[in-house]
Amino acid sequence: MNKKAQVIGEGVQMIYRMSMVLIVAFAIILNSALVYDFYINTKNSESVMLSNQLMACISNSTKINVDNLLSDNNFQDKLLDSCKISHAERLYVQLSFFDGNMNVLNLRQGDSGKIWVKKIFENVQDKGDIIKYIPGYYNANITSNCIFNGQDKILKVNIEVLIENE
């Protein structure tokens, strides 16, 4: 009789242990599902970093040589490729240089129609799941030391960067 009771007691303990393991496993799975379900939008940060990368690409340590950019067709036609930036199909970039109110140089690559798509997304009231598809955008007006027409000048630079979802 002792052996039979011992076997039954071990069976009850095994059921208890298995149920405890299942409860802990279920809690871990539920916790990880909640943590990894949260969506974090990094496209705006990516657009700021891309603008910094573009500015570093077209300038030397202190000045932007606009004369070189005007004469180099690679920069005018393939700005992102010249700066060795990949995934250009999901990007739109534009750099505009102004001397006073006169536009002296426009460098751009990508589909400018992506800007109006961004404006449509901004006008949606209830964003819900659509937030994953809102493109990242950065637009800044800065002044920079430049070489233009062989002279040192301070030019206004407008940089616009849009990054679509992957």
Rounded distance between C-alpha atoms, residue 161 and residue 95, angstroms: 9
Confidence at residue 93, expressed as pLDDT on a 0 to 100 scale: 92
Residue-wise pLDDT for 39-69, tens only, equals 677 888 999 999 999 888 888 778 888 888 8
> Cα separation of 163 and 48, whole Å?
10
Question: Domain-by-domain residue ranges, the chain?
Answer: 1-38, 43-163
Global pTM exceeds 0.75: no
Return d(Cα 62, Cα 49) in angstroms, integer.
19
CB 135 within 8 A of CB 118: yes
Q: Which class for 59: exposed (0-12), middle (13-18), buried (19 or more C-beta within 10 A)?
A: middle
